[in-house]
Structure 1
Amino acid sequence: MNVGDRFLLFVLSLVGLVLGVLLALLGAGVMSVTWAASQLTVQPWNDVCLVVGVVCALLSIRFLFYRSRRRGSGVPAESVLLAGDHGQIRISYETLRQLANRRGSQLKGAESFDSRVRQGREGILIACKMQVLPDIDIAALTREAQTAVKEYVERTAGVQVERVIVHVTELSPSGHAGKAWNGA
């Protein structure tokens, strides 16, 4: 959902909130229905009511059909579309995530590795979370993870990787035996 749609949804929510409060006041007897009706039919309030009603109706119609229009575009939001020799090829984000996880978990010094994939402007973005072993050069390991994941996904899936973002969440528990390597 882009910024314009979010703003329109915000406006629709504000109008709905105001109308909800007014209906609650009418229902509680704080305001008289006849007084509210007489005020809303006098100039300029009748013009304001007309404009607000039409705008709310149009916004509601837009957001009612927003999801179905997006689905009908042909490409699911959770896949990448490639051109093949004999037609289109779709690779799901889950497949790309599994490829990134496979390569990232093979790195020496990485205890756990998980990733998420989303669409970027010039390719896909891969965000990785990893837990590293103690006494590892974290900067070198994260650079290696970025390069290894990017090259592996591009080579195996044929998908352009725009960026690989690595987030080191924590050190692995020191007593846990893992893929640590000694300096010898």
Structure 2
Amino acid sequence: MIRMLDKLLLFIYSLAVGTIAVLAFCAGFKWLPKEWLSDGVDELFRNEAIQATVIIVSAIVFLISLRFFYVSLKRGAASAMSIDQRTEFGDIRISIETVENLVLKAAGRQRGVKDLRVRIRLTDAGVDVTIRAIVDGESSIPTMTEEIQRSVKTHVEEITGIPVADVSVFVANIIQSSSVKPRVE
């Protein structure tokens, strides 16, 4: 309900600010006759009904501005990206960071994986997971990446109940193992 109200307020605010911007733009290029502007200002000072209307509209636009300022501060600091699900018992919110950590846990279990970075993207079909890995180069890369994909998909879906649409693995590099042992003299 609050979101719908905020959307309505944003619509009204956009119309008001847009109208003021168009009028100012036209006045700046002298597309409005000078008489219209001076007559409008004179009428504002003479007619109390117009004064009251301008005061009320200005106050409403100012209050809407304050509301948007408050919402931007409140949601910016407290709202982390999350995946929202509805069950018969209520709502469930799982942060993207939680899903990233589950992916790191599942992918990190694979032998030969040395360094992992994860990026999660939400889609209509579920979650797209992109993994950047550095491996040891001792194991078959296609076999290892398929196993990473399988284990990540299974682990995330079992733990969170969120469908995993795609798991992409990018092997960025291999770690050079030093086969030369240091000499002791």
Q: TM-score, normalised by structure 1?
A: 0.55
Q: What does residue 99 of structure 1 align with?
A: 102
- Cα distance in 1, alignment partners of residues 29 and 93 from structure 2: 55
Q: CA deviation at 1:146?
A: 1.0
- Cα distance in 2, alignment partners of residues 115 and 128 from structure 1: 5
- Cα distance in 2, alignment partners of residues 148 and 115 from structure 1: 14
* 2:158 aligned with 1:155: yes
Structure holding more helix per residue: 2
* 2:82 aligned with 1:79: yes
- Cα distance in 2, alignment partners of residues 123 and 107 from structure 1: 24
The residue correspondences of 1:16-165 to structure 2 (distance < 5 A) are 40-41=29-30, 46=31, 68=71, 78-165=81-168
Contact preservation (8 Å) 2:80, 2:95: no
Query: Aligned partner of 2:92: which letter?
Result: I
Cα distance per residue 1:31-64 (max 9 Å; x no partner):
xxxxxx9x933xxxx27xxxxxxxxxxxxx9xxx
Query: Aligned partner of 1:146: which letter?
Result: Q
1:171 pairs with one of 171, 174, 178:
174
Q: How many residue pairs get matched? A: 118
Q: CA deviation at 1:149?
A: 0.4
- Cα distance in 1, alignment partners of residues 175 and 123 from structure 2: 31
Output the aligned Cα RMSD.
3.2
- Cα distance in 1, alignment partners of residues 105 and 117 from structure 2: 9
Look up the SS of the partner of 1:174 in the other structure: coil
Query: Aligned partner of 2:132: which letter?
Result: K
Task: Give structure 1 regions of 4+ aligned residues with deviation exceeding 4 angstroms.
Answer: none
Where does the alignment leave 5 or more consecutive residues of structure 2 unmatched? 1-24, 33-63, 180-185
Contact preservation (8 Å) 2:113, 2:134: yes
The structure with the larger Rg is: 2
Q: CA deviation at 1:114?
A: 2.3
Cα distance per residue 1:3-28 (max 9 Å; x no partner):
xxxxxxxxxxxxxxxx9xxxxxxxxx
Q: CA deviation at 1:173?
A: 2.7
Q: CA deviation at 1:125?
A: 1.1
